[in-house]
Each structure stands twice: as structure tokens, then as C-alpha cells.
Amino acid sequence: MNAIVSATKSWFTDALQAWERFWFTPTRPETLALIRILGGAMLFYTHFVWGLKLNAFLGPHAFIDNATALQLQEGWYSWSYLWYIESPALLWTLHIAALIIFALFTLGLFTRVVSVLAFVVTLAYCHRLHGAQFGLDQVNAMLATYLMIAPCGEVYSLDRWRRLWRSGQWPAPRAFISTNIATRLIQLHLCILYLFGGISKLRGQMWWDGSAVWGAIANLEYQSIDLTWLAQYPWIIAALTHITVFWETFYCFTIWPKWSRPLTLALAVAVHGGIALGLGMVTFGTAMIIANMAFVSPALVAAVVNLVARNRVREQGRGGESAAHSPGSLAADRRSNPAPAR
């Protein structure tokens, strides 16, 4: 009996320690900082596009006006400051302010403040644009929610340059528990999205008989690349269909082991890249790839960024060296340093 009690106690202790390691291990910020840059740029672009037809979407005579938007949201725990804006001038002022917030968020200036503002603005647009938002807007909102939790401006940001200016030396990237919590929340959110997406697909006959991918690439409404030639190779269409539904359904299992994670992420890039290029949903496919970067380790992100930076410095050095040995520079050297008289 004592052995059973001891084994049970040991199991619970190990489980608690694993839970604490999963959530509360301090993590470096490189991955979230890169997601901030790319996700912030996507937020800026998305809302910039809204501005091309701002009055049509959000003005007093919009497709769905404020009164209708309020009725559609009745009973939901949602709120948007855009519900109460009737003046076009004020609407444009707030819209420009939103773009400035997203730009500052992308650049990483006053990140702890503008990350919260970016979250509020993103939700405000989502709740106001009822009936006009798509999966892209939901992914944007997901990333804005979790990036707000962490100090995602710790590196690759103007905030870091400000710290350099104050201290006179580059501040070392710091590991935070909140960085790990935000990363885990993005990861788990993706697992839930893919699991329910896969289960939903399994309810459709086309995913069982292997023809679902053909239904997508043959749809002229979304087609941006003509892939109808694949009709000559039905086995390719069937393979792509079954691989896609298997990957999506079991993503929440295959993404965690280190040996299967690279393949799972490669399939994520392939699937969402195919959606972006083949079905014309470039922004949605790109946003999902950005979200999947949450499973890339900060050490790998830092190594890649440092490698790119070193290569860039090396290329600039070569450019400076070639310029220094150019005919024009040699002539200038001779003029400034004439040869001594014989």
C-alpha cells in the first residue's frame, strides 16, 4: 500500500513540475518580437485597406450602419468605440490614430502601451465590421491579444535602441515568464483551431473520398493560379486531400514532439502557402504562417537574425572595399595625397 501511495505522490509531483515548466519557465523574447513585427505589419496593412473604403464600411451610411451593428451584437459581451462615431471627420481622425498605433507596434516603440492599444483597436474594428470580417481578422485579433501579455518589444525594436541611448551599451535580451505564457497561449490556440477545423472537415464526404482539394482549385471564385491540370492526376489530388485533413486533425499531437515538429511546421507552410497562392487568400495564409512561428524556438530565431545581420555587414564591407579601390576613389586619393617631387 505504501508503494502505491508513494508512486501516486511521485506521479503528481512530476506532473506539477511539468506543468510549472510548461507555463512558467522564463523565455527569451526573439520569437514573439519577430511575430510582433510581422503581425503588426499585417494589422497595419489590414486596417489601411479598410481605409480605402472607410465611409462605406464605417461611415454614417455604411453597408451596415451603427444601429444595425449594435443590434447584431446584442446579447454578446462585445464593445466597440466605433459604434458611437457618426462624424466622418472624427472617424478619419480615429482611423489615422489606429494606423499610427499599429505602426508604432510594428516598430516596437512604447511597446507595452501600444500593444494594449493595438488590441483594443483590433477588437473595436472586429466588433463594428460584423458581416465583413473573415478568418484573417480573427487571426489578427488572436495575435494582438497574446502579444499584449508579453514584453514583445524587448528586442528588434526601437525600445531597445532607446535603452541603448540611455545606458550607452546594448542591453542583453531578458527572459520573462510572461513571454512563455503568451507563447504557450498562441500555441494552444492554434492546436484548438486546427483540431476543430479537422473535425469539421471529417464531417464532409469530399474529405473522405479525396476530392476536396479539387473542389477548391476548380472554384473560379477563389482561383488565382490555374491548377485544373491536376485533373489528369487524380491520385495527386487524393493524396493532397488526405494529407491536409490528417495534418490539420492531428496537428495538436504532432506539433509537440521535437522529431515531428519540423515536418508539421513544413506542412503548415505548404498548406497555408497553397491557400495564399492558389486560392487568392494571401493575407490569411500569411497570417497563419506568422502564427505558426510561435513554435519556432527563440534561439533559432536569434541565430537566423544574427546570420542575416552578419551577412549584411559583410556585404556592406565588400561594397565599401570595392568603392575604396574604384578608379574614382584612387584618383581622389592621388589628388589628396600627391606623389613627392623627384
Hunting for cell 453597408 — which residue is that? 63
- Nearest CA among 98, 97, 116, 107 for reference residue 36: 107
**pLDDT for the residue 339:** 39
Name the CA radius of gyration of the chain, rounded: 26
**pLDDT for the residue 320:** 58
Q: How far apart are CA 173 and CA 157, in angstroms?
A: 11
Cell of 262: 519540423
Task: Tell me the CA end-to-end span of the chain in Å, nearest whole number.
Answer: 106
**pLDDT for the residue 290:** 97
**pLDDT for the residue 261:** 97
Provide DSSP, 135-172: HHHHHHHHHHHHHTTTTTTSSSSHHHHHHHHHHSSPPP
pLDDT by position in tens, the chain (length 342): 677 878 888 888 899 999 999 999 999 999 999 999 999 999 999 999 999 999 999 988 888 888 888 888 888 888 899 999 989 999 999 999 999 999 999 999 999 999 999 999 999 999 998 878 888 999 999 999 999 999 999 999 999 999 888 888 777 888 999 999 999 999 999 999 999 999 999 998 999 999 999 888 888 777 788 888 888 999 999 999 999 999 999 999 999 999 999 999 999 999 999 988 888 889 999 999 999 999 999 999 999 999 998 888 877 777 655 544 444 443 334 333 443 332
Q: How far apart are CA 111 and CA 113, in angstroms?
A: 5
**pLDDT for the residue 265:** 97
**pLDDT for the residue 100:** 98
* Beta-bridge mates of residue 27: 176
Q: How far apart are CA 154 and CA 175, in angstroms?
A: 9
**pLDDT for the residue 138:** 93
Per-residue DSSP letter, 218: T
* Beta-bridge mates of residue 176: 27
Per-residue DSSP letter, 27: B
- Nearest CA among 326, 10, 26 for reference residue 181: 26
Cell of 36: 510582433
Helix axes 30-52, 282-292, angle to 10 degrees: 160
**pLDDT for the residue 195:** 97
